[in-house]
Amino acid sequence: MTNSHYIAGRWVEGQGNDCISVNDPALGQPFAEFMAASVAQVDQAVAAARSALPAWKSTSASERAAFLRGFAEQLGQRREALIALQMRNNGKPRHEAEIDLDDAIATFGYYAELAEQLPAKHRDVPLAAPGFTARTRLEPVGVVGLIVPWNFPLVTSAWKLAPALAAGCTVVLKPSEVTPLIEQAYGQIADALGLPAGVLNIVNGKAETGAALSNHNGLDKLSFTGSNSVGSQVMRSASAQCRPVTLELGGKSAIVVFDDCDVDQAVEWIVAGISWNAGQMCSATSRLLVQNGIADTLLPRLQAALENLRVGNPLTEEVDMGPLTSQAQWLKVAGYFATAREEGLQCLAGGKALDRDGWFVSPTLYTDVPKHSRLWTEEIFGPVLCARRFASEEQAIAEANDSRFGLVATVCSADLARAERVADALEVGHVWINSVQAVFVETSWGGTKGSGIGRELGPWGLSAYQSVKHVTRCLG
Catalytic residue IDs: 248, 282
User: What is the identity of the amino acid at 47?
Assistant: A
Query: Which H helix or E strand runs over 60?
Result: none
Secondary structure tally for the chain: helices H, strands E:
16, 22
Residues 6+ apart with CB under 8 A from 309: 271, 275, 320, 321, 363
User: Residue 413 and residue 415: Cα distance in Å, rounded?
Assistant: 5
Assess contact for 7 and 200: CB atoms under 8 A.
Answer: no
Q: Which residues pair with 231 in a beta bridge?
A: none
Of 74, 52, 70, 247, which Cα lies nearest the Cα of 169? Answer: 52
- Helical axes 155-167 vs 94-116, angle rounded to 10°: 10
Assess contact for 294 and 258: CB atoms under 8 A.
Answer: yes
Of 149, 147, 98, which Cα lies nearest the Cα of 379? Answer: 149
C-beta neighbour count of 113 within 10 angstroms: 12
Assess contact for 216 and 49: CB atoms under 8 A.
Answer: no
Q: Residue 19's Cα: distance from chain center in Å?
A: 25
Residues 6+ apart with CB under 8 A from 63: none
Which residues of 132-286 form beta strands (DSSP E)? 132-140, 143-147, 170-174, 200-202, 221-225, 245-248, 254-257
Q: What share of the chain is helix, strand, coil (3-state, %, to 5)?
A: 40, 20, 35
Torsion angle defined by CA atoms of residues 458, 460, 463 and 468, in that order, rounded to the nearest 10 degrees: 130
